[in-house]
Amino acid sequence: MTRFDMPTTYDPGAVEEKWYRFWEENKFFHTEVDARKPFSIVMPPPNVTGQLHMGHALDNTLQDILIRWRRMQGYNTLWLPGTDHAGIATQARVEEHLAKEGRSKYDLGREKFLERVWAWKEQYGGRITHQLRRLGASCDWDRERFTMDAGCSEAVKEVFLRLYEEGLIYRDYYIVNWCPRCQTTISDIEVEHLDKPGQLYYIKYPISDGRDAIIIATTRPETMLGDVAVAVHPDDERYRHLVGRTLILPLVGREMPVIADEYVDPAFGTGAVKITPAHDPNDFEVGRRHNLPRVQVINKDAVMNEEAGPYRGLDRWECRKKIIRDLQEQGYLVKVEDHSHAVGHCYRCNTVIEPMLSRQWFVRMKPLAEPAIRAVREGRIRFIPERFTKIYLNWMENIRDWCISRQLWWGHRIPVWYCQDCEEVIASKEPPGKCTRCGSTHLEQDPDVLDTWFSSALWPFSTLGWPEKTPELDYYYPTSVLVTGRDIIFFWVARMIVSGLHFMRDVPFREVFIHGLVLDALGRKMSKSLGNGVDPIDVIESHGADSLRFMLVTGNTPGNDLRFHFERLDGARNFANKIWNASRFALMNLQDYDPASAPGREAYTLADRWILSRYQACVRDVTGFLESYELGEAARVLYEFVWNEFCDWYIELVKPRLYRGQDPVDRACAQDVLSRVLRGTMELLHPFMPFITEEIWQRLPHRGETIMYAPWPAFQPELRDEEAEAEMAVLMEIIRAIRHLRSEMNVPPGKTADVILVTAGDPVGDLLQRHSAYIQGLARCRVQVKSELDRVPPQAAHGVARGVEIYMPLAGLIDIDRELARLKKELAAVEKELRKVEGKLGNAGFLNRAPAEVVEKERSRGRELAGKASAIRERLALLEKV
């Protein structure tokens, strides 16, 4: 096959597989430290056992666009890929498989279980990276990392020990978010707060002397078994006389004090709050201020324990029901109100979280957050869009200590050993041979592992070799930009900033480009439970990776969510086909093209000057939008240039000049402009649609092995031609007006119309005379240009554009009487249908009983029919004037 021979239809599958293999085999994605200016991105590491979803597809498409663009600009680009061990998710997957075998992790023991997880990782861990290749991700796969590989694990231990020695890591009892199903703590930002309908229970707590009582309101009556006080606001006149007295805890009989604390909101409920320090984070703080005991009544499996007395052994929900019954029977339940409130759920398994007192490892965040706040305030890190700066700063200024221990087996095990003889705590990278205090060899390592985010917080520098001082670390750090979703600013972005500043003494990235989520067509998050997810691999199979990429980026604005519509996906595929067909036409007419013998600018026609000028505007605008991270706008500019200006106008204008037998100089000039603009457009489009552009670019005259390293098109202001653009704008408007008249009059496409253009004899008339061939070719007509008319042509359709009177005699083109009859019949049918719809919409019964979507569908149908009727009436009016 010669380079000019293209299949009639575009086959994305064959093209994508061929070129990705070519890129990877030739190591075009790989980079080494050199003298060029670096541009680096670290990929947000997906779960090692996960699979590509639309969020990944969007995130990695945006990164790939930036990397491919900067690579073509001559930067030494590194896009460093990797995967995360995803402690909770991966362990849960393996435990599910064990359960199918009738076994648990305890049957295997820790060592054998971890062997099983590593085997699982080896079997399934490459799936998502393979899928990223299908998407076209141009990562440096030779540098792929894993959060638990040797280098990253060394970095994790180094960080833990340094923070521990600096007093920034400590172990203490505190309220944590406990997932009874995953059987581990999760951080505050991993808790999803979902509004749920519930009840507010009003319970009477009698004062010890029996002469008074306080009524409290709670949504979680099962926790009252762990109450140790009732708190009121110190300025609340209703309760001031009761502060310092004791009351009796219903059902339990325990005496406890009435305390005053400003935490209490006098306007909520009754203004009195039960204090349960072991099961509520706010109560825990109140308890610390007032030196209250901590009574824990719920176990880690969400079952009531010994402290719950007669309710011991009950599940927390069963306990709640029984407590309500007992309170009612004993006269303590005053009333129950419906009350919707936010309930914390585990983001992994959707189980309701249980706030619980537990001894865990924490990072002291306040001193670490202060430099991270300054870095953003001083502009050393810039958020795009800017509004996310405020969100980041608000969270950082109110940050709480980070619980980093997880009750899992899969993950980075906490590098701490406890002496079983003297209780010494020893932090060490390697197992200590003996106790540093008493010399005992009876040591046990902490059973917990570190939070997954602890290791991924080090990602920008641990992946480049830290704590070793590698050439890559010195060259590529700080990275240039982080591309990530708005939903993990707190999970990951903030923690990377904190870690980078503390350990590298510099920011981890200069800019943070935030994108939104990919939602379904109704604006809902894609999820398994809703069944509304779309598999990117299925889309790649049906539409091609380029179409998926282009659909995800067009219409996408930084920070905003994107709705997935299959209609937009079809539109992107149509765009790919349009590019293919236009390129095929061009290549069919370039077989004898010799770039070395192309004529100079003096041979350019108006169409040549116009398309070169518009191409330069496209180069300028696309580059500018990429610089400002407006990737959706860059894609829009490309789409409009390729589809509207290059394909629909220039190619149609240039066709007659390409036919053999025409003026050879003019033909060579047309070939040269066509080839140059097509090649340059493929280079501009390459970051967005890498596969089809490589396929076409390789067939065009070019230099180099791959479009990936073709120089990014430079804006050449000297090729902007405002005169040519202005003249073409006039011609295009005249052509559109003639096409509109043909359409309105229903002139058959195959018929050539006679058109009279009447001007005032100004420069427009001269322009129309000189370029009447453009009008005749694109509007399928014979043109006469006149400065005035002796008389209006009989039976002529009439229009005006740019001050030019347009007359199109209809004799011989259409049967006017027949067309009038057809339109009147069509109008009657449309009006009849419209009356039916209006009747429905005027019926109160229909409006009240029909579902909202049905009513809206009828309204939309009504608007459509009304518009159609109006258009037909306009055409009738035109014909009747004729």
Main-chain dihedrals φ then ψ at residue 579, nearest 5 degrees? -60, -45
Within the chain, all domains assigned CATH 1.10.730.10 are found at: 566-720
Within the chain, all domains assigned CATH 3.90.740.10 are found at: 198-339
Architecture of the domain spanning 198-339:
Alpha-Beta Complex (3.90)
For strand 341-346 and strand 191-196, is the pairing parallel, antiparallel, or unpaired? antiparallel
d(CA 427, CA 153): 15
What residues have CB less than 8 Å from 52, skipping those under 6 apart? 46, 128, 131, 132, 134, 135, 535, 536, 537
Task: Match 């670019």 to its residue by tokens.
Answer: 697
- Nearest Cα neighbor of 803 from 740, 741, 882, 733 is 733
Strands in 382-384's sheet, in edge-to-edge order, are: 382-384, 509-515, 479-485
The residue-averaged pLDDT of 124-134 equals: 92
User: 799 pairs with which residues across the strands?
Assistant: 806
Q: Compute, in degrees rounded to 10, the torsion defined by CA atoms 269, 272, 276, 279.
A: 20
* pLDDT over 70 (residue 337): yes
Contact 202, 334 (CB under 8 A): yes
d(CA 347, CA 190): 6
Return binding residues for ATP. Answer: 528
Highest mean predicted confidence (pLDDT) among 178-192, 565-579, 735-749:
565-579
The residue-averaged pLDDT of 431-441 equals: 93
The residue-averaged pLDDT of 812-819 equals: 79
pLDDT digits 0-9 by tens, 654-700: 999 998 767 889 999 999 999 999 999 999 999 999 999 999 999 99
User: Which DSSP string do the residues of 267-326 spell out, in sequence order?
Assistant: TSTTSEEEE-TTS-HHHHHHHHHHT------B-TTSBB-GGGGGGTT-BHHHHHHHHHHH
d(CA 784, CA 555): 43
- In single-letter form, the type of residue at position 88 comes to I
pLDDT digits 0-9 by tens, 513-552: 999 988 888 888 887 767 888 999 999 999 999 999 999 9
* pLDDT over 70 (residue 214): yes
pTM of the model: 0.87
Residue 644 to residues 533, 841, 844: CA-CA distances in angstroms? 33, 40, 47
The CATH number of 566-720, from 3.40.50.720, 1.10.3720.10, 1.10.730.10, 1.10.10.1200, is: 1.10.730.10
The residue-averaged pLDDT of 190-213 equals: 88
pLDDT digits 0-9 by tens, 295-306: 999 999 999 999
List the single range of 223-227, 456-460, 811-815, 837-841 with lowest mean pLDDT: 811-815
3-state secondary structure of 722: helix
- The pLDDT value recorded for residue 2 is 42
Task: Please determine, looking at this structure, whether the domain spanning 817-881 carries the CATH number 1.10.1740.
Answer: no
The residue-averaged pLDDT of 586-590 equals: 94
pLDDT digits 0-9 by tens, 22-37: 999 999 999 999 999 9
Contact 721, 613 (CB under 8 A): yes
The residue-averaged pLDDT of 106-129 equals: 92
Q: Give just the sign of the alpha carbon dihedral 840, 846, 847, 853.
A: negative
Within the chain, all domains assigned CATH 1.10.287 are found at: 817-881
* pLDDT over 80 (residue 880): no
Main-chain dihedrals φ then ψ at residue 98, nearest 5 degrees? -65, -40
Average pLDDT over the chain, rounded to an integer? 92
Within the chain, all domains assigned CATH 3.30.2320 are found at: 731-814
pLDDT digits 0-9 by tens, 233-276: 999 999 999 999 999 999 999 999 999 999 999 988 899 999 99
- Nearest Cα neighbor of 451 from 484, 408, 483 is 408
- The pLDDT value recorded for residue 882 is 62
For strand 199-206 and strand 213-218, is the pairing parallel, antiparallel, or unpaired? antiparallel
Q: Which CATH number is associated with domain 731-814?
A: 3.30.2320
- Nearest Cα neighbor of 668 from 654, 653, 647 is 654
Helices 606-627 and 54-72: crossing angle in degrees, nearest 10, is: 120
* pLDDT over 60 (residue 613): yes
Look up residue 404 and give its two tokens: 């980093």
How many other C-beta atoms lie within 10 A of the C-beta of residue 33?
14
Main-chain dihedrals φ then ψ at residue 201, nearest 5 degrees? -100, 125
How many other C-beta atoms lie within 10 A of the C-beta of residue 407?
17
- For the chain, state the CA radius of gyration: 36
What is the percentage of the chain residues whose pLDDT exceeds 70? 99
Return binding residues. Answer: 528
- The pLDDT value recorded for residue 1 is 36
Burial (CB < 10 A; 0-12, 13-18, 19+), residue 318, is middle
* pLDDT over 70 (residue 726): yes
- In single-letter form, the type of residue at position 634 comes to A
User: 172 pairs with which residues across the strands?
Assistant: 360
Angle at 172 between CA 170 and CA 173, to 5 degrees: 160
- In single-letter form, the type of residue at position 217 comes to A
